Structure 1
Amino acid sequence: MLPFRMKTFLLTLLGVLSLHLARAQKQYDVLDWKANVSLNTALIQQMHQQYAGRRTALSQALASEAGVRAYRDSARARFRRVLGPMPAKTPLKATVTGTLARDGYRIEKVIYESTPRHRVTANLYLPAGAPGKLPGVLLFCGHEAESKATESYQKTAILFAQHGFVVFVIDPISQGERYQLVDAAGQPLTRGGTTEHTLLNSESALLGTGSVADELWDNVRGLDYLLTRPEVDAARIGALGNSGGATQTAYFIGFDERVKVASLCSYVATGERVLELTGASDGCVMVPGLGAARLDVADWPLMFAPQPLQILAGRFDFVDYNIIQDTYAELQQAYQRLGQPEKVSLFTYDDGHGISQPKREAAVQWFRRWLYNDNQPVAEGALATLKPEELWCTKTGQVATAFKDEVLLPRRNLAVAAELARQRKKNGPPQDLPAAIRRQLGLPAQLDAPVTVEWKGEASAKDNITLRKLIIRREGQVPLPALLALPAGEAPVSKVVLWLPEQGKRRLADSTALLHSYLRQNYAVLLADLRGLGETTDPEALNDKKFYNAEYRNALLALHLGQPLLGQRVVDVFMVLGFIGQEPRLKAAPVEVYATGRAALVAAHAAVLTPRLSRVWLGPGALTSFQQILAQPTARDWYSLVLPGVLRHYDLPDLTAALGPQRLLTTANP
């Protein structure tokens, strides 16, 4: 044991060293406010602006029946547009792998192919001895790992079956028997569920699709299967789900018009509020471009109007009940305008998240009201549930190990990417690569808009190097902090060296030998923090580690707005060029850019758009193809680089070819 005095001395010394380190880092900071939330604040403001337009449009639509119908139809069309292309329908190749006889009903274990060799596992609950055709119900699961075997979902299906419904309970991807990111033994490579959804969504986005579209298509084909059953009345189809299953239900009723009645339990009523308070949800919820399309979570129930729709809510759910009430009021107005106010209902119980017994009873009563013309109360008795393995449709409990030819989504994505690469090679280089880049990055029309500069004093680095602090501003953009080192004298410089380190400008500020070598050659050195990097890095605590991305909430919000982070950072480069172009000592000099990590692709894209960047050096480890993301789906921080649908238009080798070896350098050292 150390003596007390020695302990005190060591603790004091550590405190002094920590304070010194903090001050050393702070001396290179430029922004004099809480800069680490600047990017998120700006994104939230843009989101509110987009949704202000939505609220205005909805308010005007609710004034008339024609307005409601036009808004509904427009929302449906916008949803289909942001979803991207859906697959062609192929043979389901459905099989029943087992049957369980239960008291008053039976359960069939069903496997079908939503696309060739991509299998979906599901349980079909059929009432025993019921005469004639019966209504069919799709039950979509929340994020529970057990999926269709979750106790509350089993009880929901049983209660519906006891009251005359054929119920189809489908395993979503990444849950139940359908994990997609697995090792050779079929074990999940991640924590599963929401993490898998998110990682799959990031790679699929490069192809112009995503986890929402994949789940939706599985469910569309699930209804196709349900309608092949002789027990089912195709004119009486319903859908319901809880939590993430409610989101699936909402997307489904906004897409597939075969559904006649629906119920949403524990459904988030407004994406705008969630994005502001807690950040982006997982990949089975997030669709790039929804904000740009002015679509909010409340729009999917509206897309279903005036079909019978029930909202099931828990007063003490973490889902904001006040917002649920506001959304329900909008739905009431819409249904009133459509002349069918009785077809929308809110059932509230004093409990929390989930489809509890009172909510199950209310759901069955709602479906019987509209599909049986019977509005009698429903009472749930004692219901016997089964263990997950008893409900398995596969022998192993996972499609990944049960079928050697199973096409898991990572495999599918690689195959699609390879086909797109063949098509691009056949078609030759993009005819107008800069135009394609502008579209994919969501860039503003005027990249060279004026900038202003605010000088913020000096930071003294080692060896008598003076770094001038500055903020580069452009209207509507996040302020950009930078440090500038100039050679002695007043003469124009021979070259401007722009450093864009992923870790931020302080990464190079103490590299005095490198800075001196530049200054001796009459070069100016500009160290800049692109938005979300350096001193504007988003707080780690505000980005859930399960999403495998250090800036997840900002990356997803940017995609939601239709303005990927990669594109926003390209705007930052043009802001820097705007500053250089108006400084007397700098404006005539060639500009070389050195970029690492996430900033590397920013520099490469910017260089294709402007000859002002005479040469570009990309640091070690820079991405060389977007297909690397598909090949390494469990690597971290890919979402920062995602451009939706980019591989349908170009890949990074196209940028390399456009720049040529004289302008693009990838050597280990500059």
Structure 2
Amino acid sequence: MNLNDLNKLSINSVIPYNENQLETYIDLLTKKNLDKGDKVRASIKTAEDLEQHRHRIRESFLRAIGGLPPMGDVKVTVTKTHVTEGLICENIVLETLPNFYATANVYKPEDAKGVLPAVLMVCGHSALGRMYEVYQRVQRRIAKAGFVVMGLDPIGQGERISYLEEGQKELAVGPCTLEHEYAGIQCLLTGLTITRYFVHDGICALNYLASREDVDEMRIGVTGSSGGGTQTAMLMMTVPEKIAAAAPGTFITDRMAILYSRAPQDLEQIWPGMAADGFDHADILACMAPKPVLLLTDDSDFFPLEGVERTIKKAKPLWDLFGKGEALEIFTDKSKHAYTWNLANAAADFFSRALKGTPSKFMEYISTSDPKDLYATESGNVVKSLNSKIIHDFVLDELKAIDAKNSELSSEERRENAKKFVYEQVNNYEPYPLYIKRSYDEVSVLNMNMELFTWFQQEGILNFGALLKSPGTNPGKIVIAAWEGGVSMLHCNLDLVMKYCEKGYGVFVIDLVGTGSHSNNYYKEYEPDYFHTRFSTFANNLLVNGDNIVAMRVRGICRALDALEKIMGKENNKEDNAENIEFGIITKGKYNLYALMTKLIDNRIKFVDEYEPLESVRYIAERKYYNNHNIKAIVMPGMLRYFDIDDLRRGFI
């Protein structure tokens, strides 16, 4: 077989298969999990049932995001007060955690007297954050309806952009989704999420509004669009008792609509394991029932309207339990994804009706201010002006806490903890027969013979491997070979394969999920892969369903071992009896991580030979800057609580 033919090998070389099997798999898995949630939600018949369900959703969400940071005193500094468009505007800095600063503006009518209802606006993905013209108009429009309105900068936006370096004209890491992803990866490795800090900031902002003398703490609402709609939803689940009315915008739809759109989401929107718990967007709404909720939507949004309508159908019976079906509303504008002026007017009218008892008439456009006039810091950035912590600093704090905890454990305790952690994730799937199929003909590759095999890793995931050996041999030693591209990159690794065959080994080159026949064209090693890629989106969809790329790849190696035992047992006329065969693994690049994890949990593996290995995962979390190419291929949430690569190599000694 020549190199061109070798490069074309795939599962189709053995049997026809669905080349989009990963998409099919994740679609079916998600639907299966969501169907469970639909059944639970349909069983809610009383107010007590609903309260228990709300508690389950909150607990699931808090588990998913790694809990919340401790709530302390929030120090608030008003750095400037001015009047604009008939509104008093305060520029504010909040210290939501020690040396961690959030920035905001608070608006209220210039002629306001006494206490007013209030609305917190959490902002979507704009580099300007609350100072973005669209978001300024929303804040001012609601304030003009007789409200105290607070616009809060999210992490990585407005005055809270983190990755500025002296001497660089551009940001080292971009704002908004790019920063959320970049810092979010480091959080995941330590068992936290960046989401917890978004939620904590939002709670601090609600508490601050409730503490103001000009605010009625019983009449506080929340709104936001896009990423702000996400933050609104997160607060609805976490602290519904603090929210009297909510208007989440251009985010609420349902999981299947998001899944089928294949649209990417950044990591504050990814809540690990919640889909596995049956969670869907109807559960966000359930946490607010029967309080007033308005869904702000656009007819041509990439958060699909059809998902919104399904969610309303599922959630409305929860309002009907209390005879308040009319309190769940929807307003749809003719627009692409945006917090449009029509939506701003609809939000103002909704909050006015819900929290004041009177409607608010449509208003024409409102002028906005130069962002510099809204700065709460001198420089327009909390890192420059206040030396604020960034998310990476909390990751470093968490690593120190992990080290302190692990220092109290023996090597054996650490090893057993790590083994349990990996084993539980790798075996988090329903057993399924191997159904091994083979090409039944050997072909020559240089001085080696090769036969092709397929088998099922799990239901819906068909694996592929090429077994190479020297002619006329029936080796009692087999190495599994794992590298980027799997069998499709065999032509680049023939020297290594020949080396082992000439030593008397059989070499089983395998494809793992997301590579080779498993790639679905999600990932090509010569193209950048970090965010907005199909591979990243698939990895995120695995996360919400309680799985991850690392676990699936380790699972793939374990199942390849199962297949090899069957194959070699038949070769030796010893069905299901291959205990005399010695198994090892050879890897290139980051695939050593999967091999070493396999060796930890599967005593069939006697050795791992690493070529050009990944030396450390902790390195990614420790450094402020790291190479994020194809990063989700090596992220198992919480792994650094238990091990780094060298721990696996040394057996925790």
User: Is the shorter-chain TM-score for this pair beyond 0.5, marking a shared fold?
Assistant: yes
- 2:405 maps to 423
For 1:448 and 1:616, how far apart are their aligned partners in 2?
A: 26
- 1:212 maps to 195
Where 1:159 maps in the other structure, the secondary structure is helix
Compared CA separation, residues 464 and 530, structure 1 to 2 (3 A):
same
Q: CA deviation at 1:255?
A: 0.7
8 Å CA contact 1:243–1:265 kept in 2: the answer is yes
8 Å CA contact 2:108–2:143 kept in 1: the answer is yes
Q: CA deviation at 1:545?
A: 5.2
Where 1:227 maps in the other structure, the secondary structure is helix
Deviates more, 1:340-349 or 1:578-587: 578-587
- 1:316 maps to 300
8 Å CA contact 1:35–1:536 kept in 2: the answer is no
Q: CA deviation at 1:501?
A: 1.3
Is it true that 1:615 corresponds to 2:586 in the alignment? no
- 2:126 maps to 144
Is it true that 1:255 corresponds to 2:248 in the alignment? no
For 2:611 and 2:400, how far apart are their aligned partners in 1?
A: 27
Compared CA separation, residues 33 and 101, structure 1 to 2 (3 A):
farther
Compared CA separation, residues 205 and 371, structure 1 to 2 (3 A):
same
- Tell me which of 184, 192, 196 is aligned to 2:166: 184
- 1:624 maps to 616
- Tell me which of 513, 530, 537 is aligned to 1:531: 513
For 1:338 and 1:437, how far apart are their aligned partners in 2?
A: 49
- 1:647 maps to 640
For 1:367 and 1:649, how far apart are their aligned partners in 2?
A: 48
Q: CA deviation at 1:207?
A: 2.2
What amino acid sits opposite 2:464 in the alignment? P
8 Å CA contact 2:263–2:302 kept in 1: the answer is no
Compared CA separation, residues 413 and 464, structure 1 to 2 (3 A):
same
8 Å CA contact 2:105–2:151 kept in 1: the answer is yes
Query: Counterparts of 1:511-550 in structure 2 under 5 Å?
Result: 511-540=493-522, 547=531
Query: Counterparts of 1:371-382 in structure 2 under 5 Å?
Result: 371-374=355-358, 376-382=359-365
Compared CA separation, residues 574 and 132, structure 1 to 2 (3 A):
same
For 1:488 and 1:42, how far apart are their aligned partners in 2?
A: 38
Gaps of 5+ in 1: 1-19, 661-670
Q: CA deviation at 1:26?
A: 0.5
Q: CA deviation at 1:225?
A: 2.0
Deviates more, 1:258-267 or 1:167-176: 258-267
What amino acid sits opposite 1:51 in the alignment? L
Is it true that 1:600 corresponds to 2:584 in the alignment? no
Gaps of 5+ in 2: 573-577
Deviates more, 1:264-273 or 1:649-658: 649-658
- 2:286 maps to 302
What number of residue pairs does the alignment pair up? 637
Q: CA deviation at 1:407?
A: 0.9
Where 1:578 maps in the other structure, the secondary structure is helix
Compared CA separation, residues 399 and 614, structure 1 to 2 (3 A):
same
Query: Counterparts of 1:451-530 in structure 2 under 5 Å?
Result: 451-458=434-441, 460-476=443-459, 478-489=461-472, 492-509=474-491, 511-530=493-512
CA displacement 1:90-119 (0-9 Å, x = unmatched): 332221111221232111110111111111
Q: CA deviation at 1:434?
A: 4.7
Is it true that 1:330 corresponds to 2:314 in the alignment? yes
- 2:55 maps to 73
Where 1:531 maps in the other structure, the secondary structure is coil
For 1:388 and 1:621, how far apart are their aligned partners in 2?
A: 48
Compared CA separation, residues 279 and 617, structure 1 to 2 (3 A):
farther
CA displacement 1:320-346 (0-9 Å, x = unmatched): 222222222223221001222232111
8 Å CA contact 2:121–2:222 kept in 1: the answer is yes
For 1:541 and 1:570, how far apart are their aligned partners in 2?
A: 18
Compared CA separation, residues 53 and 371, structure 1 to 2 (3 A):
same
Q: CA deviation at 1:634?
A: 4.8
8 Å CA contact 2:78–2:93 kept in 1: the answer is yes
For 2:171 and 2:428, how far apart are their aligned partners in 1?
A: 44
What amino acid sits opposite 1:47 in the alignment? T
For 2:528 and 2:147, how far apart are their aligned partners in 1?
A: 40
- 2:42 maps to 59
Query: Counterparts of 1:100-249 in structure 2 under 5 Å?
Result: 100-184=82-166, 187-249=170-232
Deviates more, 1:610-619 or 1:444-453: 444-453
CA displacement 1:589-621 (0-9 Å, x = unmatched): 211101123321111111011221110122224
- 1:91 maps to 73
% identical equivalent positions: 23
Where 1:551 maps in the other structure, the secondary structure is helix
CA displacement 1:160-198 (0-9 Å, x = unmatched): 222211111001011111112332358522332111111
- 1:44 maps to 27
8 Å CA contact 1:461–1:510 kept in 2: the answer is no
- Tell me which of 384, 389, 396 is aligned to 2:367: 384
Compared CA separation, residues 447 and 382, structure 1 to 2 (3 A):
closer
For 1:217 and 1:237, how far apart are their aligned partners in 2?
A: 17
Query: Counterparts of 1:387-406 in structure 2 under 5 Å?
Result: 387-403=370-386, 405-406=387-388
Once superposed, what is the RMSD of the aligned Cα atoms? 2.7
What amino acid sits opposite 1:239 in the alignment? V
Deviates more, 1:633-642 or 1:161-170: 633-642
Compared CA separation, residues 430 and 162, structure 1 to 2 (3 A):
farther
- 1:343 maps to 327
What amino acid sits opposite 1:394 in the alignment? T
For 2:466 and 2:37, how far apart are their aligned partners in 1?
A: 41
For 1:447 and 1:68, how far apart are their aligned partners in 2?
A: 31
Deviates more, 1:178-187 or 1:129-138: 178-187
8 Å CA contact 2:299–2:333 kept in 1: the answer is yes
CA displacement 1:61-99 (0-9 Å, x = unmatched): 2x5544444333322222222222211123322211112
8 Å CA contact 2:69–2:196 kept in 1: the answer is no
Q: CA deviation at 1:562?
A: 1.0
What amino acid sits opposite 1:245 in the alignment? G
Q: CA deviation at 1:445?
A: 6.7
Where 2:268 maps in the other structure, the secondary structure is coil
Q: CA deviation at 1:633?
A: 4.1
Where 2:347 maps in the other structure, the secondary structure is helix
Q: CA deviation at 1:300?
A: 0.8
Q: CA deviation at 1:39?
A: 2.4
Scaled by the length of structure 2, what TM-score is found?
0.91
CA displacement 1:432-454 (0-9 Å, x = unmatched): 63554443562327999753320
Q: CA deviation at 1:650?
A: 3.5
8 Å CA contact 1:68–1:337 kept in 2: the answer is no
8 Å CA contact 2:21–2:460 kept in 1: the answer is no
